[in-house]
Amino acid sequence: MKTKYFFSAAAYAAMAFIFFACSSDDSGNNSGSSAGGSNFADLPKQVYFVETDHDDNDNLIVLKKEKYEGNGDLAFLFSEIMTLSCSGSHCECTNYNGDVYQCSYEDEDKYDTIPAGKIQNGQISLDLPTSIDSKYLRELESCDDTNCQISIVPENLTSVEKSYLYATIPNENDCRVQLRLAKSGKTTSIAYFYYYSESGKITGTEKIYSYSYDDGGDIEDQINLDMSFSKGWNLAYYYDNYLTTNLPKGEALEWWLKCDQY
C-alpha cells in the first residue's frame, strides 16, 4: 500500500511521544554501527536520565536531568499494523501491504522487538539491524495537490521511521531513549531514525492539520522536507517545521532517557 502523504502518515504521528528539550553539555564519539547514509559513529555516547512535566499551557518542564551511569538493552519495536479500526467488538486491521483482515483491539499493542544496541555504564553503543523485513516497510509515492507537493526518488521506495529506542533498564518501567537536538530548546526538535530500501531523495512541502482542544478546531501547519539518504539507516532532524538529513549548523545532539514516572 502506497502512502500518499509522507509526514502526516509517518513521522508526525510520533510527535505525540515528544516530551523533552534542554541544553547540551557533553559530546563524544560513538562506536556504534553505521548502516546507511548517516555517520552513527560520530554520535555522542553519554546518556542523560530525565524527568519531565507540563504546565497548564502544555509547556515542557524539565524536573531532573543527570548523567545516566547504568546499563540497559536497546531495541526498536515493530508492528505489522498500519491502521486499526473497531465498531463494537468487530475490528479490522490494515497492514503495510494494504491487506485488510479481522483483528482485535489488543493487537494494537503487539510488537516485534528487534535488538538495536546497549547502554553500558551510561554510554550508548548502537547495533542497528542490517536489514528490515518488508512487512514493516511502507511504500512512498510523490504527490502534487493542494495539501502535498513532494518529490520522492526513486519510485517504489519503501521506508520505516522510528522516533525512539525502547530501553530495558533495571528497576525502571517503560523506558525510551530519544536523540535530541539539544540546543534548540524546543520540545519538537528530535532526530528520527529512518530505514530506506534504496538510496534516494525526498523534497517538498506538506500541510499538516491537527486538532486544538483549546481552540476547538483544526490548526494548519506546513512541513518542509529536504532529505538525501543512502540505503539502510539514516538520521533525519526535525526542527522549526523542517525535516532534513542535514544537522542544523551549530546544533548538538544528546541522548535522553525517560521512564514511566508513575
pTM exceeds 0.85 for this model:
no
Whole-angstrom distance, CA of residue 48 vs CA of residue 44: 11
Per the model's pLDDT, the better-predicted residue between 240 and 205 turns out to be: 205
Range from 81-85, 104-108, 111-115 that averages highest in pLDDT: 111-115
Nearest CA among 39, 132, 124 for reference residue 73: 124
Whole-angstrom distance, CA of residue 15 vs CA of residue 163: 8
Q: What is the pLDDT of residues 78-95, one digit of tens each?
A: 887 777 888 888 888 888
Nearest CA among 54, 51, 45 for reference residue 65: 51
Window from 62-66, 102-106, 123-127 with minimum mean pLDDT: 102-106
Nearest CA among 73, 57, 24 for reference residue 215: 57
Nearest CA among 207, 76, 197, 191 for reference residue 140: 197
Beta strands in 182-246 (DSSP E): 190-196, 200-212, 217-229, 232-239, 242-244
Nearest CA among 182, 183, 187, 180 for reference residue 59: 187
Q: How far lies 148's CA from each of 5, 8, 13, 58, in Å?
A: 7, 10, 17, 29
Beta partners for residue 37, in sequence order = none
- Extract the C-alpha cell encoding 234: 539514516
Whole-angstrom distance, CA of residue 210 vs CA of residue 148: 15
